[in-house]
Structure 1
């Protein structure tokens, strides 16, 4: 059984990392990231911008962790498995 990836790898020449999601699970993670990013701006910024910067870095790290576990291995051309 082939492994179902949530995120596509970027094509060669477009940098390292992941591109748009393949599956609804990937889109859900992507949407949740942006909702939490914007919502955190309203709730965390009043305490200080440095807290929001730390929050944003933590969210980005979590997104990268999810992409590394559930996405195609970066650095190779996507398989087209959608």
Structure 2
């Protein structure tokens, strides 16, 4: 993505590597959707036996992979190490 890309959903982190907070409604929707998925996973972890816990962990990892992939693809300027200056 270009540095001034208007279609970016997330701002880059000022220091370090990765994405910062969302800057568009689509980014907020993705983040809130991810957080809302954590609630059913919590209740699934409370189920008896190992199968519900394993399912919850696998589903949580899948949701996290989707969140990271979307935020990486939709971060203004892409993911790279930043030292706080203007790139």
Q: TM-score, normalised by structure 1?
A: 0.75
CA RMSD of aligned residues (A): 2.1
Count of aligned residue pairs for this structure pair: 75
Gaps of 5+ in 2: none
Deviations 1:19-77 (A, max 9, x none): 110011111111000001112322x3224322211111111100011111111212246
Partner Cα separation in structure 2 for residue 6 and residue 78 of structure 1: 21
Higher strand share: 2
- Matches of 2:85 and 2:38 in 1, distance apart? 28
Larger radius of gyration: 2
1:78–1:41: structure 2 CA closer, same or farther, 3 Å change rule? farther
Q: Where is the helix percentage greater, Structure 1 or Structure 2?
A: 1
The answer for unaligned runs of 5 or more in structure 1 is none
So what's the TM-score if we normalise by structure 2? 0.71
Distance 1:18 1:78, change over 3 A: farther
Trace 1:48-63 onto structure 2 (pairs within 5 A). Answer: 48-63=52-67
